[in-house]
Amino acid sequence: MMVRTHTPSLSPAEGRTVMRVLLVNPDYEIERYMGRHFGRMGWVMPPMGLLYLAAQLEAEGIEVAVYDAQVDERSLDDALTEFEPAIVGITCATALVASTLAAARIAKERFPGVTVVVGGVHPTVRPDDLLTGDHVDIAVRGEGLLTLVEIARVVDTGRSDDLETIKGISYRQDNEATIRFSRRLPLDQVRFALATPFPGTRLWEIAKNEGSVEIDDWMQLSSMGGYRSDELFYVPVGRDSDELKRLQRRANFSFYFRPRIMAGFIRRIRSMDEFGEYARGAWGLLKATVAPY
Ligand code: B12
Contacts by residues 125-133 (CB-CB < 8 Å, ≥ 24 positions apart): 127/170, 128/170, 129/97, 130/92, 130/97, 130/100, 130/101, 130/104, 131/170, 131/171, 131/172, 133/101, 133/104, 133/105
Classify residue 132: in a domain, yes or no.
yes
Residues 101, 246 within the same domain: no
What is the DSSP pairing of strand 2-4 with strand 63-68?
A: antiparallel
Lowest mean pLDDT among 38-42, 112-116, 145-149, 159-163: 38-42
Cα(108)–Cα(139) distance, integer angstroms:
15
Q: Is 85 in contact with 21 (CB distance < 8 Å)?
A: yes
Which ligand 1 atom sits closest to the C-alpha of 117? Answer: 45
CB atoms within 10 A of CB 89: 28
Lowest mean pLDDT among 139-143, 224-228, 282-286: 224-228
Residues 24, 83 within the same domain: yes
- The best mutation among 60, 91, 97 to test binding of ligand 1, ranked by most ligand atoms within 8 Å of the C-beta, falls on 91
Classify residue 88: in a domain, yes or no.
yes
- What would you report as the CA-atom Rg of the chain, rounded to the nearest whole angstrom? 24
Classify residue 188: in a domain, yes or no.
no
Give yes or no for residue 228 having a pLDDT over 70.
no
Tally helices (H) and strands (E) across the chain: 13, 7
| Highest mean pLDDT (candidates 98-102, 200-204, 215-219, 270-274) | 98-102
What is the pLDDT confidence band of residue 17, given thresholds at 50, 70 and 90? low
Nearest C-alpha to atom 30 of ligand 1 is from which residue?
49
Classify residue 185: in a domain, yes or no.
no
Classify residue 179: in a domain, yes or no.
no
Residues 214, 144 within the same domain: no
- Tell me which DSSP letter residue 193 carries: P
Instruction: Specify the pLDDT at position 5.
Output: 43
Give yes or no for residue 47 having a pLDDT over 50.
yes
Which residues contact ligand 1 via a Cβ below 6 A?
Answer: 28, 43, 45, 47-49, 52-53, 89-91, 93-96, 117-122, 140, 143-145, 147-148
For residue 93, report the distance from its CA to the centre of ligand 1, in Å: 6
- Tell me which DSSP letter residue 199 carries: T
CB atoms within 10 A of CB 157: 9
Which ligand 1 atom sits closest to the C-alpha of 28? Answer: 77
What is the pLDDT confidence band of residue 259, given thresholds at 50, 70 and 90? very high
Strands (E) located in 138-284: 138-140, 169-171
Last residue of a domain, one of 133, 152, 172: 172
Length of the chain: 293
What is the phi/psi pair of residue 210, to 5°?
-75, -15
CB atoms within 10 A of CB 195: 16
Q: Is 148 in contact with 141 (CB distance < 8 Å)?
A: no
Residues 225, 115 within the same domain: no
Classify residue 178: in a domain, yes or no.
no
Give yes or no for residue 293 having a pLDDT over 80.
no
Residues 14, 155 within the same domain: yes
Last residue of a domain, one of 128, 156, 172: 172
Q: Crossing angle, helix 241-256 and helix 175-184, to 10 degrees?
A: 20
For residue 142, report the distance from its CA to the centre of ligand 1, in Å: 12
Classify residue 62: in a domain, yes or no.
yes
**Which of 114, 157, 160, 161 minimizes the C-alpha distance to 14?**
157
Residues 276, 152 within the same domain: no
Amino acid (one-letter) located at 167: K
Give yes or no for residue 6 having a pLDDT over 60.
no
Nearest C-alpha to atom 18 of ligand 1 is from which residue?
93
What is the pLDDT confidence band of residue 71, given thresholds at 50, 70 and 90? confident
- The best mutation among 24, 48, 130, 136 to test binding of ligand 1, ranked by most ligand atoms within 8 Å of the C-beta, falls on 48
Give the pTM.
0.74
**Which of 265, 266, 251 minimizes the C-alpha distance to 183?**
251
Residues 168, 208 within the same domain: no
Residues 263, 143 within the same domain: no
- Domain containing 64 — which CATH number? 3.40.50.280
- Tell me which DSSP letter residue 167 carries: T
Round to the nearest angstrom and report the end-to-end CA distance of the chain: 56
Domain span at residue 214 reads 202-289
How many structural domains are present in the chain? 2
Classify residue 76: in a domain, yes or no.
yes
Q: Is 135 in contact with 101 (CB distance < 8 Å)?
A: yes
